[in-house]
Structure 1
Amino acid sequence: MTAPPAVATVPPAAWLVAVALGIVYVVWGSTYLAIRVLVEDLPPFASASWRYLVAGLLLGAVLALRGGVRRLRVARRELVGCAALGLLLPALGNGLVMLGEQKGAPSGIAALLIAAVPLWVIVYRRLTGDRPSARTLLGVLLGFAGLVVLIASQGISGDVPVVACLIIMGATVFWSLGSWSQPRLPLPKDAFVLAVYEMLFGSVWLLLLAAVRGEHLLPTSAPLDAWLAWAYLVTFGSVVAFTAYVWVLSVAPISLVATYAYVNPVVAVFLGWLILSEAVTMPIVIGGAVVVGAVAIVVSAERQKAQADQASTRSTALRVTE
């Protein structure tokens, strides 16, 4: 009996992958600018809550129209996992970025600090017994040195409140913890369904944080540019870019997709300088370059480690079948 012929899958056109990756590069890089404009007139936690509520409902409606309401059904334990992820990523991860920018952190500085997320993920792995390569650990140490330069330079110059930088550093800790925890939590297998519930739970957590801070919980009057920035974050930041990210992650190598981690800060710094006239001082350039370079080292080292592990697994499988 012969096995049925394998069905060949047609890889997506290179230009489609390039467009999707470009969307992730530019849109996610520009969200820091939009946040900076928004928090000038709208409360950080409450406006983030409205953002994720609308984005979650929009994405959920699209999924229901395309696959039926049944597609959105999840188990109770999966809802608990979504609630935990909603707390770590949208609420504490993104919410603290918005608070930090409201406290005075420029959008470019915020993006450079957030670039450290992959470094924190390595720290969590090391604390739980994993043994990253020496090259990965070198990248982590280099990256944290860059962060020290960034934060210390702001404290010395007095242009940016150190507290604002530390708040955003707190956001990186929670965001990386959520990223590290995601494979370990009971979650829906459909990434888009996961995104719906993660955003909706994040909206609830953010509303609670807003209540604790005494923010206006319902939308209030604000200048048009603030609402345009909010609408941009809802549509492009939360729906369009995330959809592009999930799609390109399924069709392109993770080593290629992961480059967004060190392209986004470059986009954010450039846009902040171009549109908001944010200062780009030499310490920012040096510290930012060190952080971005360190993330590139870690991503490259992890890619090589993954390829070596796959080659070792294939070699073992061949020996077993001989």
Structure 2
Amino acid sequence: MRSSTFVATPGSASQWRIHLKLLGMAALWGGSWPAGRVLAQALPPLAVASWRFGIALVLLLAWLHATAGLRRLCGLSARQWGGLALAGAVGVFGYAVFFMLGLAQVPAGRAALVVTTNPVATTLLAAWWFGERLNRRIGVGMALATAGAWVVITHGQPLTLLTGGLGVGELLLLGCAACWVAYTLMGRRLLQGVDALTTTTVTAGLGMVLLLASALVFERPQALAAPLQAGAGIWAALFFLAAGATVLAYAWYFEGVSALGAGAASAYITLVPVFGVLFAAIGLGEQVDGSMAVGGALAVGGLAVMNLARRSPT
């Protein structure tokens, strides 16, 4: 899906500025992991996720209103509304629950590397369901990325997967990755004709409703009030996730897609786990052990090979 919100041309924005915004996008998404780790260890996870998407929804609605996008909601078909509801349940509610629960148990840097499985699974399923093209170089990239993620997930002991010794936190993060893959593929199948800004706004709203209901049932109303007693650092992390990683990063990504094309813009996503590990080390003092260094290098290298290979015919 491509947003019509931004139309960048050489006359309206120079190429270097677009590339800097895409770099900023990758940094914001990378920073979401240490920010989420701080929140997951301090507050009830469902309540935090409800606040995050509640704040983001207010900002997204303002953005949609500023671009006359609210009128587009009236033109959505029943099928599109159904697709948006399903995408909100999986891509926002499901993703947010696994994201917060996983980060409560796994260091942010390692978590950011675990989800390098996202593009591999998405590419394989898109080739199977939609007939998207694969080539040898994409296969090599997927193999490298998968091997790297495997090393990170198992803490450098790959045979752990065969003996059932995988940790609960890593399993939760794989659930997070599965939700994002499903959300991406749903967008391809069910949300044709819906622009990216409308999709992001509506799914954020629907997902927030599910998160709020779940928080009320499983964490009780007092959990939703917990952030009100939190300190400035917690609120800074919460607003970073809502305004930075959920709204501003999407704005910069959409602008990059409009100016450079989806392939060039999406290549910057390769840098997200790099920023995640870097910010977790700087901001949270997390250590980068050998399995993270080796596995991370393989995973990021594999993603880079995949992005480059999509432009190759063989």
Same fold flag (TM > 0.5): yes
* Deviation readout 1:266-307 (Å, 9 max, x if unpaired): 1111111111110100111001111111111111112324xx
Aligned to 2:230, what secondary structure does the other structure show? coil
- 5 Å-filtered alignment, 1:94-243, equals 94-102=96-104, 104-128=105-129, 130=131, 132-153=134-155, 162-186=167-191, 189-211=194-216, 213-214=218-219, 216=221, 218-220=224-226, 221-243=229-251
* Deviation readout 1:182-226 (Å, 9 max, x if unpaired): 121135533212211011011123234435643655231223321
* Deviation readout 1:107-159 (Å, 9 max, x if unpaired): 11111112221101122124427352122223222222222211221779xxx
d(CA) in 1 for partners of 2:294, 2:303: 14
d(CA) in 1 for partners of 2:96, 2:306: 23
d(CA) in 2 for partners of 1:94, 1:289: 27
Structure 2 residue aligned with 1:93, among 92, 95, 98? 95
Q: 1:287 to 1:209 in 2, by over 3 A?
A: farther
d(CA) in 1 for partners of 2:311, 2:225: 44
**2:80 counterpart letter in structure 1:** E
The equivalent residue for 1:48 is 49
The equivalent residue for 1:280 is 288
Once the two structures are overlaid, the 10-residue window that deviates more, 221-230 or 129-138, is 129-138
Confirm or deny that 1:24 pairs with 2:25.
yes
Aligned to 1:303, what secondary structure does the other structure show? coil
Give the Å deviation of 1:51.
1.3
* Deviation readout 1:301-321 (Å, 9 max, x if unpaired): 12324xx8xxxxxxxxxxxxx
CA contact (8 A) 1:64 1:72 kept: no
**Size of the alignment, in residue pairs?**
295
d(CA) in 1 for partners of 2:278, 2:179: 26
Q: 1:212 to 1:302 in 2, by over 3 A?
A: farther
Q: 1:275 to 1:89 in 2, by over 3 A?
A: same
Q: 1:126 to 1:71 in 2, by over 3 A?
A: closer
The equivalent residue for 1:311 is none
The equivalent residue for 1:260 is 268
d(CA) in 1 for partners of 2:250, 2:29: 9
**1:29 counterpart letter in structure 2:** G
CA contact (8 A) 2:44 2:219 kept: no
**1:144 counterpart letter in structure 2:** T
Give the Å deviation of 1:168.
0.5
d(CA) in 2 for partners of 1:219, 1:14: 45
Larger relative contact order (C-alpha < 8 A, sep ≥ 6)? 2
* Deviation readout 1:10-33 (Å, 9 max, x if unpaired): 453113202321220211111111
Aligned to 2:96, what secondary structure does the other structure show? helix
d(CA) in 1 for partners of 2:284, 2:19: 28
d(CA) in 2 for partners of 1:287, 1:212: 39
CA contact (8 A) 1:97 1:110 kept: no
Confirm or deny that 1:298 pairs with 2:303.
no
**1:191 counterpart letter in structure 2:** A
TM-score, with structure 1 as normaliser: 0.83
Q: 1:45 to 1:20 in 2, by over 3 A?
A: same
d(CA) in 2 for partners of 1:155, 1:267: 24
Larger radius of gyration: 1
Q: 1:137 to 1:68 in 2, by over 3 A?
A: closer
**2:200 counterpart letter in structure 1:** A
CA contact (8 A) 2:79 2:190 kept: no
* Deviation readout 1:45-89 (Å, 9 max, x if unpaired): 221122112212221123224427424434233221111111222
**1:219 counterpart letter in structure 2:** A
Aligned to 1:15, what secondary structure does the other structure show? helix
- 5 Å-filtered alignment, 1:71-82, equals 71-75=72-76, 76-82=78-84
d(CA) in 2 for partners of 1:215, 1:290: 43
Q: 1:145 to 1:68 in 2, by over 3 A?
A: closer
d(CA) in 2 for partners of 1:129, 1:236: 33
Aligned to 1:21, what secondary structure does the other structure show? helix
Structure 2: 5+ residue stretches without partners: 1-8, 159-165
- Identity level (%): 29
